[in-house]
Amino acid sequence: MASNKKLVTVLILVLVGIAVVLSYENLSNGANSSSARPSNVTVGSLAPNYGFFLENGSEANLSAYRGHPVVLWFVATWCSSCAQGNQAINSSYQFFKRRGIRIVELELYKDLGYSGPSITNFVSSYAPDAYSNGTVIPAYAEYNMTAKYDPQGYLDIYYLISGNGTVLYINGSPESTLGQLEQAINASAE
């Protein structure tokens, strides 16, 4: 019985991962198909500077990271592919740390209406090393930020943003696309 539950859980995780990858397939390598694009935030555009709340309750915004590349990653804390993405980032957090890249992991506004752990508990559980050294910064997206960057409520979407605020790369599911994100980061540093 326990092995059947594990099998069902694995199958659900695989299906969610496939769905996320397929929804973003036109976004990989910086492509921006209007039918697949999750918002009007596009590669080459200036990233909108909306506010968000840090885990300590203080308000911040994207301009606080000007001068340094940042990854804005929109997640739901009940999302299994988001948990797997945290584990993948935790495995390679040194890559981001060496390049001075912070990953601001933003819980979508009110967790898209579903119940999950706090963003801090979520990040510290699945990416403890990346969290403890400050590579991943847990935060809460305000409504306007969620509506601008993720109006369709997709799970697990991220934006690589340059130090001057330009969107360099958009994709989803870091667990499946981490290699592509690392390539985009390396290409942006050249």
- Rounded CA-CA distance 50/63 in Å is 9
In 24-135, the DSSP E strands lie at 51-54, 59-61, 70-75, 102-107
Of the candidates 146, 164, 161, the one whose C-alpha atom is nearest the C-alpha of residue 39 is 146
* Exposed / middle / buried, residue 96 (Cβ in 10 Å: 0-12, 13-18, 19+): buried
What tokens appear for 119 in the block? 């963003």
Average pLDDT score over residue span 154-169: 93
The amino acid at residue 15 is L
In this model, does residue 174 exceed pLDDT 70? yes
**Token digits of residue 136:** 């991943």
Instruction: Write down the pLDDT at residue 25.
Output: 37
- Residues 6+ away with beta carbon under 8 Å from 67: 163
Here the tokens at position 15 are 């299906």
For the stretch 60-101, pLDDT in tens is 998 888 899 999 999 999 999 999 999 999 999 999 999 999
Average pLDDT over residues 33-44: 62
Mean pLDDT of the chain: 83
Say what percent of the chain tops pLDDT 70.
Answer: 79
Domain range holding 114?
Answer: 2-189
- Total number of domains constituting the chain: 1
**At 1, is the pLDDT very low, low, confident or very high (cuts 50, 70, 90)?**
low
Which carries the bigger pLDDT value, residue 14 or residue 86? 86
Chain position carrying tokens 């000007």: 66
> What are the beta bridge partners of residue 46?
166
pLDDT of 13 reads: 44
Residue 118 has pLDDT above 90, yes or no: yes
Has this prediction a pTM greater than 0.85? no
Q: In this predicted structure, what is the pLDDT of residue 40?
A: 76
Token representation of residue 44: 């080459």
Q: Where are the alpha helices (DSSP H) in 24-142?
A: 80-91, 93-98, 119-126, 128-132
pLDDT over 50 (residue 123): yes
Band of pLDDT at residue 30, cut at 50, 70 and 90: very low
User: Strand 157-161 and strand 136-141: pairing?
Assistant: unpaired
CATH of residue 184: 3.40.30.10
